[in-house]
């Protein structure tokens, strides 16, 4: 415990947390501004009733997202069972460290989006937890709704470093075994592994009564293949190398990636899993709007 406190107080760690917190708030601010022109009328739960705030009401019941869109204070009244417990499940394997020319790696992008979603959920009074995995779940933080939870989540995320091989399916099976109550499981991964076991693990989560949003995060170069001539490619986890003619391979590669994503999209639709394909060149607010749309469709 003493070591954990010392690590938390190191200046470089404090700076990392502060940067991540500012980035998360920046993402959320842009998202809330975007809601002014959005057709979506809510966020985390379907409220049984909205009414104008009057003196004597508990300020904690104010719906701040409605305020952000209307500049008016409304009180949200909701049934206890409509509260959503969310878990951010982040792939921190070596392949997530890749970036070609973007500022953020796939892991950086996922962490920033996860931090923003945590910020949104806790401010919406929904409990939010965190799990980080590679070959197995390495870190687990129980879901809480108090404001201090944001700091705990940011502290962990700011120190996550990509390493090791990945076993997405095994990790998701672990996640399913660890969850004791119906939850919203938000998975962030490049899904660079055999799809069969991953789909089986996702089905296990669904059969356990959990709702799943799958954020499929790829680097923009993995989607668009912006290479020319003879290039040497390195598999990030095995370190195997392959020299190819990029010009000859581009059309087939891009088609294969599109097929890979489309197969996940169609399978997820049939399985009741929300699928959000992303690449690191995409703006975060677009990802959050997709998230909002999918989440409302589930609850």
- Per-residue pLDDT tens for 54-64? 666 677 777 77
Asked, for residue 24, whether it belongs to a domain, the answer is: no
28-42, 111-125, 150-164, 213-227: which range is least confident on average?
28-42
Question: Does residue 81 or residue 140 have the better pLDDT?
Answer: 140
Answer for the pair 166, 183: CB distance below 8 angstroms, yes or no. Answer: no
Query: How far is it, in rounded angstroms, from Cα 18 to Cα 57?
Result: 33
CB 130 within 8 A of CB 139: yes
pTM of the model: 0.76
**Given pLDDT bands bounded at 50, 70 and 90, which one contains residue 187?**
very high
Q: Show the tokens assigned to 187.
A: 């998975």
The model's pLDDT over 36-56, given as tens digits with 9 standing for 90+, comes to 444 433 444 334 456 666 666
Residue 265 lies in a domain: yes
Domain that holds residue 181: 83-298
Q: Does residue 132 belong to any structural domain of this protein?
A: yes
For residue 262, tell me if it sits in a domain.
yes
Please give the tally of structural domains in the chain: 1
Model pLDDT, residue 17: 64
Q: How far apart are CA 178 and CA 145, in angstroms?
A: 19
Average pLDDT over residues 136-149: 94
Separation of alpha carbons 183 and 142, rounded Å: 12
pLDDT at 6 over 80: no
**Which of 240-245's residues contact partners 24+ apart within 8 Å by CB, and which partners?**
none
Instruction: Report H helices in the chain.
Output: 2-9, 11-34, 64-70, 106-123, 148-158, 168-178, 195-207, 220-224, 246-271, 284-298
pLDDT (tens digit per residue) in 71-128: 777 776 544 435 689 999 999 999 999 999 888 999 999 999 999 889 888 887 889 9
Answer yes or no: is 9 within a domain: no
Domain CATH for 155 = 3.40.50.410
Task: Give the residue-averaged pLDDT of 232-247.
Answer: 77
Asked whether 162 and 105 are in contact (CB, 8 A), the reply is yes
Q: Which residue has the higher pLDDT, 284 or 279?
A: 279
């Amino acid at each position: 415990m003493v070591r954990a406190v010392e690590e938390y107080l190191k200046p470089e760690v404090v700076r990392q947390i502060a940067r991540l917190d500012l980035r998360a708030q920046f993402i959320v601010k842009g998202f809330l501004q975007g809601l002014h022109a959005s057709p979506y009328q809510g966020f985390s739960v379907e409220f049984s009733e909205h009414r104008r705030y009057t003196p004597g009401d508990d300020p904690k019941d104010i719906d701040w997202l409605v305020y952000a869109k209307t500049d008016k204070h409304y009180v949200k009244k909701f049934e206890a069972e409509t509260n959503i417990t969310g878990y951010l499940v982040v792939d921190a394997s070596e392949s997530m460290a890749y970036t070609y020319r973007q500022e953020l790696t796939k892991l950086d992008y996922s962490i920033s989006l996860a931090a923003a979603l945590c910020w949104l959920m806790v401010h919406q009074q929904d409990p939010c937890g965190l799990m980080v995995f590679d070959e197995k779940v390495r870190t687990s933080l129980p879901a809480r709704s108090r404001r201090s939870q944001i700091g705990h989540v940011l502290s962990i995320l700011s120190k996550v470093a990509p390493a090791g091989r990945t076993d997405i399916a095994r990790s998701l099976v672990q996640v399913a075994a660890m969850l004791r109550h119906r939850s919203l499981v938000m998975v962030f991964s490049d899904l660079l592994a055999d799809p069969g076991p991953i789909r089986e693990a996702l089905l296990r989560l669904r059969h356990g009564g959990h709702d799943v949003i799958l954020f499929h995060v790829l680097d923009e170069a993995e989607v668009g293949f912006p290479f020319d001539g003879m290039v040497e490619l390195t598999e990030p986890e095995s370190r195997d190398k392959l020299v190819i003619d990029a010009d000859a391979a581009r059309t087939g590669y891009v088609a294969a990636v599109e097929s890979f994503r489309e197969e996940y999209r169609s399978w997820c639709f049939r399985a009741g899993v929300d699928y959000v394909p992303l690449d690191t060149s995409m703006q975060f607010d677009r990802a959050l709007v997709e998230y909002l749309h999918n989440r409302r469709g589930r609850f």
